Structure 1
Amino acid sequence: MPADQIPDSGGDSSEWPWHKERWLKRQPRVWLIDDCVEDRTLVNRAIGKLVELQVFHTGASVLHAIAKLSDPTATSTPTSPDMLLLDFRMPRLSGPETLERLRSLEAGQLTPVIVFSSSAAQTDIESSYAAGCNSYVTKPSGWDDYRRTLRAVIRYWLDVSE
């Protein structure tokens, strides 16, 4: 289904029982790294009203932002993410290459990274775990399953990392 035909997430907080306590402090921050505009749109529609979503189009751009988190000379510093959603197949720096570099940076060592990919190939899964991902999730094809899966993964990792 084309991204422009997917219904909005609606931000139904009843699906997020933990949100009330957490949102009293602040909205969870999720960074999405994906080169595909359609996939970015789907993720935004699924969780955009439930989390503070920051989008990066390349591995290099997220590595630059992560490096700024621990740079005392940076004039503007991004807000540290609670978790990252990383696409596997990207031009220039792939998901695993981005992840290996991310894990080498001090500010990128402890943040949960979930590879969210359309690939279910065992070699892709293994290379993602070898690079340091916390979880590998294959994107479901139907909208309801996509939204439900993405929300469950985020809910789990935000609870675990708290």
Structure 2
Amino acid sequence: MKVLLIEDDMIETMKMHRAVSGMQTKHQIIEAKNGEEALEVLNGGGELPDILFLDLNMPRMSGIEFLQILKNDDRLKFLPTIILTTSENRADLLKCYEIGIAGYIIKPLKYEDYENRIKKVFDYWEVSELFKG
């Protein structure tokens, strides 16, 4: 799968690369440090990613602002977007689901827990009908 990771924290980006490199199936990760960079990637004319991982707390444009732009774009609105955040704020969670996300994951403190959650997300989306064909 082609994955767009929208994350401003370099350590979190490295964790994602490490988790994905340990999987049997290889995935391509494209990075964006904020919502503006992510929109440039998505509107750059290349092949769209299969899935997005989005942090909520970012500079310039919050994850929720990015999500609203994404879901109002007819070409991008069906991209499965997984929130990957430290925010346990219930209002954030509800707002994200209201806008239209595919999942909401709280970043666990232990790396093993993080890796396990990321693997489960990939396992699910690898068998999703959206990617078959």
The residue aligned with 1:116 is: 84
Q: Deviations over 1:15-64 (max 9, x none)?
A: xxxxxxxxxxxxx1111000111111111111146310111111011112
* Displacement of 1:96: 0.8
Aligned letter for 2:18? R
The residue aligned with 1:57 is: 33
Q: How many residues are paired up?
A: 127
Provide the rounded CA distance (Å) in 2 between the counterparts of 1:86 and 1:48: 19
The residue aligned with 1:42 is: 15
Gaps of 5+ in 1: 1-27, 69-76
What is the root-mean-square deviation of aligned Cα atoms in Å? 1.4
Provide the rounded CA distance (Å) in 1 between the counterparts of 2:56 and 2:76: 17
Provide the rounded CA distance (Å) in 2 between the counterparts of 1:91 and 1:141: 22
Provide the rounded CA distance (Å) in 2 between the counterparts of 1:130 and 1:89: 18
Runs (4+) of structure 1 moved beyond 3 Å?
none
Provide the rounded CA distance (Å) in 1 between the counterparts of 2:69 and 2:126: 23
Residue 98 (structure 1) aligned to one of 63, 66, 82: 66
Identity over aligned pairs, percent: 28
State which structure, 1 or 2, has the greater radius of gyration over its C-alpha atoms.
Answer: 1
Aligned letter for 1:106? D
